[in-house]
Amino acid sequence: MSDELIELEEEEYTSQLTAPVLRRIMGLLKPHSIWVFGFFVTIALVSGLDAYFTYLNKQIIDQGIALQDRERVFEIAAIYGTFILFQAGAVFTFIYLAGVLGERIQYDLRKLLFNHLQDLSLSYYAQNAVGRLIARVTSDTGRVSDLLTWGIVDTTWALMNIISSTVFMAIINWRLALIVLTIIPVMVVIAIEFRKRILAEFRVSRRTNSKITGAFNENFQGVRVVKALGREDSNTREFQSLTTMMYRASYRAAWLSALFLPTVQVIAAIALGMLVGYGGLQIEAGLMTIGGIQAFVSYLTFMMWPVQDLARVYAEMQHSIASAERIFNLADTPPEVHDRPGAVPASTLLGEIEFDHVDFHYEDRKPVLTDFTLEVKPGEMIALVGPTGGGKSTIVNLLCRFYEPRQGQIRIHGRDYTDFTLESIHSKIGIVLQTPHLFSGTVRENIRYGRLEASNEEVEQAAKVAGAHDFIVTLEKGYEHNVGEGGNLLSVGQKQLISLARAVLARPELFIMDEATSSVDTLTESLIQRGMEALMKGRTSFVIAHRLSTIRRADRILVIENGKITEKGTHSELLKLKGHYYRLYTQQFRHELETRYGFADAVGLPETADQPQPLPAD
């Protein structure tokens, strides 16, 4: 599922307000209570002053103009001016405090989640798509911090605005204030109803939008098929049904929004009409002034903004709380694989490694390994071969202690490996993955990932051992060359060489490699082979093998099928059996030689066009 869809799906999930979650959300503010207090007070001040300014205007009319008192006008102006300055100070304070606090909460939450994710086990990653986790760390934290800062700001401003306006209206004329008070609830209800409908349309339009993007994407990627099958017209017609759906939803959302304010305004105007009618009579009775009428008109006209704000915050709050729930959920998940109490550092991994009747499954009732037993002598090289899904990766995952056996034991040097600390095991393992993973940054930084304190010479030495040095120096900036996001600026073969160098630098005692199935050119291939050889010397190694040369070199080959070892032995022993291994081997043999002579294309890289391509640097 695409990240966009994940986000949409999660956004649409709203939470029922629950007190404990809400308390916990508010708990996030605790360390920053002074900041919260600061912006709470200042926004209240800003809002109250807005209402007061309207009141001062009334005073100018009633006490200045009506009484022909110039002095009074200047006095009021002086107060007015002072408060403008005050208000500006308060505006500065609340924007700064709420804004920076929002950034700070987001920073804290992201840090909390990221750090916790580092400790979570691979099983958690297997169950949660990366897109989902990213949404958790980015958009969910944003939504929660918005609620805690701007949500509070808007609510405070709106409530304070309504309250202080009402108070000033009551001071001016409490009978008229009562009229206004009756319409506020009506306005709020209408606002919420509008919000709900607009949001519903908005969601339809967002979902349709993601379908539209999907349709575009597919049509671009499959354009060859579209053209070959002459599907242009019907594809456009199908697409038009999507844009029509989109048009309906977004047009409706837009005109509903356009209807909302006028509706509220008309309601306010009805109240205004009542005010003027009734207020006129009050003036006649001497209970009301012209300035008072002016003030009431002002208060009423600007009443719709806080109402609109309250409706918005209310609508968004449910989504923010759902976000918070997901955040807490992640933060509360304990890591499945962790150090046992009293775990000691493993002194070395260069000892006998035993799988003793190991059972393993990722999901209940779907066994992956059953009763798996294996003994490996220090320094031995084991090649794992067999079909996809047979259990090869699981063996490696268990060996690295990314997962632990459900039944049975894995022993290193005769001792259950769960007696050792994770860190001590991991720091002695070197691993090269099937699809090499690099990080953005320079070549040097990527190699140094293997041992952070390594000197530049050591990095280059490791690159030489791994056979990566030669191509690195041909790169434009050599070791300082930027590899791009995920290493995208390099070819697959180059990435493999760098990840080999990284493993070399780590000086592991146990080396694990998942060979790439996709071919690289012959030169790189032989470099990789040589690098591997160098790495395996004097180390125990496990290789999920696809290459003949690797397989042939292994001390022992295990054919893994359905979670069991079906054949084991040396290359020649297994060939003689004429079983699974024999078939695998002959197929791979043909394929490799055909590739070498240039007749077959690299597996997994279908030929799409013969147009000239720039030669990769290796």
Residues in 353-412 that interact with another protein by CB under 8 A? 400, 402
Closest CB 441 distance from another protein, rounded Å = 9
Residue 408: both structure tokens together: 């049975």
Asked if 171 interacts with another protein (CB under 8 A), we say: no
18, 182, 373, 587: residue in contact with another protein (rule CB under 8 A): 587
According to DSSP H, which parts of 222-302 are helical? Answer: 223-228, 232-284, 290-301
Which DSSP helix (H) or strand (E) runs through 543?
strand 540-544
Site string for another protein, 250-269 (x = CB under 8 A): xx--xx-xxx-xxx-xx-xx
Closest approach of Cβ 521 to another protein, in Å?
A: 11
- Please name the residue that has the structure tokens 């199908």: 238
Query: Which one of residues 9, 18, 26, 92 is an interface residue with another protein (CB under 8 A)?
Result: 92
Closer to another protein by CB, 292 or 408: give it. Answer: 292
Q: Restricting to residues 546-575, which ones interact with another protein according to CB under 8 A?
A: 571-572, 575
Q: Does 537 bind another protein (CB under 8 A)?
A: no
Does position 107 interact with another protein (CB under 8 A)? The reply is: yes
Q: Hey, what's the torsion of the CAs at 276, 282, 288, 292, to 10 degrees?
A: -10
Residue 26 interacts with another protein (CB under 8 A): yes or no: no
Q: Does 112 bind another protein (CB under 8 A)?
A: no
- Distance between CA atoms of residues 152 and 165, nearest Å: 19
Q: How far is the CB of 147 from another protein (least distance, A)?
A: 17
* Element holding 108 (H helix, E strand): helix 70-119
Stretch of residues binding another protein (CB under 8 A), selected from 133-141, 320-328, 352-360, 403-411: 133-141
C-alpha separations of 14 from 319, 472, 609 in Å: 5, 51, 49
In angstroms, what CA-CA distances link 28 with 33, 148, 315, 324, 333?
9, 9, 21, 11, 18
The number of residues that bind another protein (CB under 8 A) is 159
Nearer to another protein, 304 or 321 (CB): 304
Q: How far is the CB of 184 from another protein (least distance, A)?
A: 17
Q: In angstroms, give the least distance from the CB of 356 to another protein.
A: 23
Tokens 């490699």 locate to 513
CA angle, 437 as apex, 431 and 441 as ends, to 5°?
Answer: 120
- Residue whose C-alpha is closest to residue 181's, from 193, 197, 165: 165
Distance CA 57, CA 294 (A): 8
Q: How far is the CB of 395 from another protein (least distance, A)?
A: 14
**What's the Cα-to-Cα distance from 252 to each of 194, 260, 261, 462, 568, rounded to whole Å?**
12, 12, 15, 63, 68
Binding another protein (rule: CB under 8 A), the pick from 231, 312, 361, 464 is 231
Decide if residue 133 touches another protein (CB under 8 A): yes
Closest distance of CB 253 from another protein, Å = 8
Residue 615 backbone zone (phi > 0: left; psi -120 to 50: alpha; other: beta): beta
The reply on whether position 427 binds another protein by CB under 8 A is: yes
Name which position in 163, 374, 600, 617 contacts another protein (CB under 8 A): 600
d(CA 142, CA 469): 44
Is residue 541 within 8 Å of residue 382, measured between CB atoms? yes
3-class secondary structure, 511: strand
Q: Are 560 and 391 in contact (CB under 8 A)?
A: yes
Taking CB under 8 A as the rule, does residue 167 contact another protein? no
Nearer to another protein, 199 or 321 (CB): 199
CB-based burial label for 69 (10 Å; 0-12, 13-18, 19+): middle
Q: Is 214 in the site for another protein (CB under 8 A)?
A: yes
477 contacts another protein (rule: CB under 8 A): no
Alpha-carbon dihedral angle through residues 90, 54, 154, 91, given to the nearest 10 degrees: -20
| Positions in 486-525 near another protein (CB under 8 A) | 486, 499, 502, 506, 512
Neighbours of 277 (CB within 10 A): 10
Which C-beta is closer to another protein: that of 146 or that of 321? 146
Q: Does 119 bind another protein (CB under 8 A)?
A: yes
Scanning 14-22, 29-37, 170-178, 427-435 for contacts with another protein by CB under 8 A, the matching segment is 427-435
422 binds another protein (CB under 8 A): yes
Q: Contact between 123 and another protein (CB under 8 A)?
A: no
Choosing from 159, 290, 374, 489, the residue that interacts with another protein (CB under 8 A) is 290
Pick from 18, 37, 439, 522: which binds another protein (CB under 8 A)?
Answer: 439
Q: Tell which one of 21, 41, 134, 181 touches another protein (CB under 8 A).
A: 134
Whether the CB-CB separation of 568 and 557 falls below 8 Å is answered with yes
| Residue closer to another protein, measured from CB, 24 or 231 | 231
Structure tokens given for 60 = 């100018």
At residue 371, the 3 state secondary structure works out as: strand
Site membership for another protein, residue 37 (CB under 8 A): no
Exactly one of 9, 103, 193, 480 binds another protein (CB under 8 A); which one? 103
Helical packing angle, 290-301 and 174-221, nearest 10°: 20
Q: How far is the CB of 318 from another protein (least distance, A)?
A: 25
Q: How far is CA 170 from the centre of its chain?
A: 50
Give yes or no for residue 277 binding another protein (CB under 8 A). Answer: yes
Among the candidate windows 27-35, 192-200, 324-332, 579-587, which touches another protein by CB under 8 A?
579-587
In the complex with another protein, the residue whose CB is nearer, 98 or 321, is 98
**Binding of another protein by 125 (CB under 8 A):** yes
Pairing of strands 556-561, 381-385: parallel
Give the residue with the Cβ less far from another protein, 321 or 384: 384
List binders of another protein among 54-83 (CB under 8 A): 57, 60-61, 64-66, 68-70, 73-74, 77, 80-81
